[in-house]
Amino acid sequence: RCLGFQFTPAIRPFLQTISIGLVSFGEHYKRNETGLGVTASSLFTSGRFAIDPELRGAEFERIIQNLDVHFWKAFWNITEIEVLSSLANMASATVRVSRLLSLPPEAFEMPLTADPKLTVTISPPLAHSGPGPVLVRLISYDLREGQDSEELSSLVKSEGPRSLELRPRPQQAPRSQSLVVHIHGGGFVAQTSKSHEPYLKSWAQELGVPIVSIDYS
């Protein structure tokens, strides 16, 4: 009932909606349902949690105290379901480039801004499991110079029928002077850039610069 009382009233309905979805999902998660099935079942039972804040609070407490990280991963990954992500993309802005790239764990050289004749070696990131490829999504409202090069195409990771939105265009825009680097939320255990693609497309359109979204989970 008091969820989000410390925030501005404009954001409280959104937080209430998240909490209703959370407890509805949690009720069916304990029945070992997964994927689209538990999401659909949650929609049918969310009404009683919406009208009964006491029941919602009790279920919320049960979830917080008893369910592990696998539940939270399953809940936040609802947006990764292909049907839902496809519907979200249908309503989002149309961009010329949306490509998932797999960057190999290889060092490379970059010129210094102060003196382009000098270079610095960029080493691949390391984790507890050792070096590995990094997945990033390149989103650009306009097709720019180099974005359809063979070198970049060799890094593309297939996503099935929706893997590329790259479309033929008579002219290419020049290289951008700016780049937005986006690191999504998810607590290192949930979601990929696919979940955040709809609003990133809008950003790319409004800002007029390419966006690189890093899958850091």
pLDDT digits (tens, 9 = 90+) for 160-216: 555 445 555 557 899 999 999 999 876 666 788 888 888 999 999 999 999 999 987
| Burial of 16 from C-beta contacts in 10 A (0-12 / 13-18 / 19+) | middle
DSSP label at residue 80: G
Judge contact between 34 and 77, C-beta under 8 A.
no
Q: What per-residue confidence (pLDDT) applies to 49?
A: 74
Backbone angles phi, psi at 214, to 5 degrees: -95, 125
Beta-ladder partners of 137:
100, 213
Q: What per-residue confidence (pLDDT) applies to 141?
A: 94
Comparing 5-14, 23-32, 48-57, the range with the smallest average pLDDT is 23-32
Output the average pLDDT for the chain.
81
Q: What per-residue confidence (pLDDT) applies to 164?
A: 47
pLDDT (mean) for 30-35: 57
Candidate ranges 64-73, 91-100, 160-169; pick with highest mean pLDDT: 91-100
Pairing mode of beta strands 211-215, 134-140: antiparallel
